[in-house]
């Protein structure tokens, strides 16, 4: 019995990658960074918008609902942020791309094909997303405000 156990342990140790197992150190969106993005985006778009910022796992880090924002803006902003994070591109671009191809992606839970979400990136690595809802001029304005929020912390994303 002990020979079999020793052989099993030896086989596990010999597995590819087992010897090189390591702790991952990945950049992420801090609460302070998320707050700076949200405050800047809201300042750009006005007090009737809702702003959501998610981290690399798609978890909500900050949500700010402006005075006078509609109740549904919370859900829309969060889902736009999640979609931008998930696909690593602005939601307008993802929406356009999935109109004729990759339509199955639209069936995934929590994603939404609406403009107003922007990824937060360190190089090519997507570490989060920001989404807005409720801007007077809709999606294009929301996207511009989200980009302004990300630009505010650009020096921390290098």
Domain boundaries, the chain: 27-157
Over residues 96-148, the pLDDT tens digits come to: 989 888 887 888 889 999 999 999 999 999 999 999 999 999 999 999 999 99
Pick the CATH number of 27-157 from 3.60.20.30, 3.40.1410.10, 3.30.450.150, 3.40.50.11540: 3.30.450.150
Instruction: Judge whether 130 and 41 are in contact, CB under 8 Å.
Output: yes
How far from chain centre, in Å, is Cα 91?
11
Instruction: Give pLDDT, residue 46.
Output: 92
Q: How confident is the model at residue 16 (pLDDT cuts 50, 70, 90)?
A: low
4, pLDDT greater than 80: no
């Amino acid at each position: 019995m002990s020979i079999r156990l020793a052989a099993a342990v030896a086989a596990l140790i010999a597995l590819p990658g087992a010897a090189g197992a390591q702790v991952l150190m990945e950049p992420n969106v801090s609460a302070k960074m998320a707050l700076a993005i949200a405050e800047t985006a809201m300042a750009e778009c006005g007090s009737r918008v809702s702003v959501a910022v998610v981290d690399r796992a798609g978890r909500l880090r900050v949500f700010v609902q402006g005075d006078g924002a509609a109740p549904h803006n919370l859900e829309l902003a969060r889902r736009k942020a999640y979609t931008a994070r998930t696909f690593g591109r602005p939601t307008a671009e993802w929406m356009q791309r999935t109109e004729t191809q990759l339509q199955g992606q639209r069936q995934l839970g929590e994603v939404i094909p609406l403009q107003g979400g922007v990824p937060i990136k360190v190089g090519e690595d997507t570490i989060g997303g920001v989404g807005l809802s409720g801007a007077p001029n809709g999606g294009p304005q929301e996207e511009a405000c989200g980009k302004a929020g990300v630009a505010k912390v650009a020096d921390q994303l290098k």
